[in-house]
Each structure stands twice: as structure tokens, then as C-alpha cells.
Amino acid sequence: MGMCFSFQSSITVLGLYFVRRRPLANALASMGLSMGVTLWPLLARYLLETLGWRGAFLIFGGILLHCCVCGALLRPVATNEVPEPKEDPLLPPKIPTRSCLATCVSTIRYHLAFDILRHNMGFCIYVTGVMWMNLGFALPHIFLVPYAMHHGVDDYWAAMLMSIVGFCNIFLRPVAGLLLAGRKSLAAYRKYLFAVAILINGLTNLICAVSADFRVLLGYCLVYSLSMCGVGILVFQVLMDIVPMDRFPSALGLFTILCGMASLISPPLAGLLLDKTNNFSYVFYMSSGFLVSGSLILGVGFYAAEKKKLKQDGQAKMENATSEMTSMHGLASENKGSAKKQPYPESIYMTNV
């Protein structure tokens, strides 16, 4: 519950605080996540060895409680919008009476963005593709360290692999935010860049299936961090581009619910596959398959939706042009008929009083 409340509010307020530099702001804000991924495994191992699991959990709780200070600094955005005029209180409100159940259903439907899911094709494609991607995106974070330890890598160096991924993301995310997500010339192609980043992320997981040598895993972490930073800085920026900002909190809520369901299903499926085969390579094959197919869903879906929209716009323009030609033809025929009825021009005299 705490993770959901803090995550939802921080992403929402970040989208409201920034407009022109929003991609760069997303990249800089995600540096905190990268720093946590870098330091947390090493800190967790040290605390577990020195204080035990009870002392480690107490330290973790104290660290997380300090985030309340950051949350207290978040303020609503001041707007210059003129408040709408209120209705006359003497008149009865023109609101049809509805049952309590119907009111609750409509409220849930609005706040969970089911109306956007029905009427916004881009949002529907985005939610489907990212939900499918999440079935494989979290698997390397869970199984990379046990995979390295299973093949003889020391515990300390195995934990260091995830720290390397986080350390690279600290420097790569701002650079990617400036060069890719923040450029105006690439604004129309962000969703395709997002699909390409997911595709590369899925293909890099095949490196783990080749060998479990520490040098190979180190190279995998470096390449994986490149694709991971692209996914991290674009996942919410693409959602902000697809959905209006006044409905972004509701869309983000539905998005996180569906992605949370995928993240809940994925690790038990991978664990069941590992128990049946006793081979970690199949887990990374599974992760790669979900990521590659998710990128294809996003790329092909966005392309088909744009083609359909362009076709509909072209048909609308042709219909407007046809209606204009028809109206002009009707006016011309009326002018000809009036000219036949009045062979001589009519004289109009005007006087001043």
C-alpha cells in the first residue's frame, strides 16, 4: 500500500510540475531508482551479516520513513484558470437521481480510466503491450544473482552484478533523456523508441543463456543497463503523450494495477519452469520471449493505429470537400434560377431622414 501511494503520487506530480522539460525531468528523477538499485544489494547484505534480519528490517524502515520528508515538500501546482460560475442556489440542481450502486460503478469507471481504455486506442495498445512486457521484464532482477551463484560465482560478486546495472543507469539515464526523449524532433517517435528499447532489452537476455562466466555476465549487465535506461525514461513519458494530463492519474492507476498483476504472475511461472527443467537458461529465454513479443505488440499496434487515423482524417477531408462542392453547386443553381426570374436588375432607392 505504501509503495503504491508513494509511487503514484510522485509520478503524477512530476508530470504536473514539468511540461517543456518533462522527459529530462523523468530521466533525472529515475536516477534515484538507479542509486537505490546500486546501493541496496550491498547494504542489505552487510546489514544481514552484521545485524541479522530483524536489525536489517529496522534500518530499512528508518530509511523509508525519511521519504516522508520528501513527500511533505510536494505541493499542488498553482494554476491561472478562472473558476467556473456556480449555478443559482435557488434553482433545484438538474442532476438525475441514481442508485448508490450505479454511482459507485460510474465513479470507479471514471477514476480507473475505463472510459479511456474504451475510447483511446493508443492507451489500449500501450497497456496491452506493457502488461505483456512486464511478464518478462522483472525476471532478470530476480534470477540473475541466483543464476551466477548457481554457476560458482562468489556471493559478493554475484550481488555486485545488480549494483553494476544500477550504477550505469545513474549516468546513462540523464544522457538518454537529453539525447533521445528530450529532443523535439523525436517527440513524435517516442513510442517507437520505447518499443525498440524493449526489443533490445529482450534480446540482451539471450546473452545469459550463452554462458554463466562472470566476464560474460558483466558484459550482459553493461548492455542490459543501456536498454533498461531507455525503457525507464520512456515508460511514463509515452503514457503522458498518449493520455491528457487531466486524466493521467486515473490512467496511471489502471496501468499500475494491470502491470502489478503481470508482475505477480511472472515470478511463480518462471520458478515453476526452473523446477521442471532445473536450468536457468529457460528462465532467460522466457523473459526474452515476453519482451520481444511485447515490443512487437507496441510497435505494430501504434503503426496500425496511426495508419487508421490518417485514413479516417483523409476520408473526413474528402467528405468536407464534397459537401462544400455540393453547397457551392446548389448556390450556383439558385443564382441561375433567380436570374431567369428577374431579367432586369431591380432598382433600390434610399433616402435620409
Q: Compute the average pLDDT of residues 81-106.
A: 58
- C-alpha cell of residue 133: 512486457
- C-alpha cell of residue 351: 433616402
Tell me, what's the pLDDT at 198? 92
Q: Where are the domains positioned within the chain?
A: 1-77, 112-332
Rounded Cα–Cα distance for residues 216 and 19 (Å): 41
When mean pLDDT is compared across 5-14, 127-136, 322-331, the lowest value belongs to 322-331
96 vs 84, 87, 92, 100, 110, CA distance in Å?
A: 21, 16, 11, 13, 18
Higher-pLDDT residue of 326 and 120 is: 120
Q: Compute the average pLDDT of residues 256-261.
A: 86
pLDDT digits (tens, 9 = 90+) for 269-308: 999 999 999 888 899 999 999 999 999 999 999 999 888 8
Tell me, what's the pLDDT at 90? 46
Looking up cell 504472475 gives 265
When mean pLDDT is compared across 108-117, 215-224, 265-274, 324-333, the lowest value belongs to 324-333
DSSP for 205-246 reads THHHHH---HHHHHHHHHHHHHHHHHHHHHHHHHHHHHS-GG
**41 pLDDT higher than 90:** no
Tell me, what's the pLDDT at 89? 46
Q: For domain 112-332, which CATH number applies: 1.20.1250.20, 2.40.160.60, 2.40.50.100, 3.90.1150.60?
A: 1.20.1250.20
Tell me, what's the pLDDT at 343? 52
Compute CA 91 distance to the chain's CA centroid, rounded to the nearest angstrom: 44
Sorting pLDDT into bands at 50, 70 and 90, what band is 329?
low
Tell me, what's the pLDDT at 295? 93
Tell me, what's the pLDDT at 333? 58
Rounded Cα–Cα distance for residues 283 and 144 (Å): 10
Contact present, 239 and 251 (Cβ < 8 Å): yes
Q: Which amino acid is at 110?
A: Y
- Give percent of the chain above pLDDT 90: 18
- pTM exceeds 0.85: no
Angle at 267 between CA 265 and CA 268, to 5 degrees: 70
Higher-pLDDT residue of 108 and 327 is: 108
Q: Which amino acid is at 205?
A: N
Tell me, what's the pLDDT at 82? 52
Tell me, what's the pLDDT at 289? 93
**321 pLDDT higher than 90:** no
Phi, psi for residue 94 in degrees, rounded to 5 = -95, 60
Cα R_g (the chain), whole angstroms:
29
pLDDT digits (tens, 9 = 90+) for 109-163: 666 777 787 788 888 999 999 999 999 998 988 898 889 888 888 888 887 888 8
pLDDT digits (tens, 9 = 90+) for 161-199: 888 887 888 888 777 777 766 677 777 788 898 999 999
DSSP for 84-107 reads PPPPPTTSPP------HHHHHHHH
Rounded Cα–Cα distance for residues 291 and 302 (Å): 17
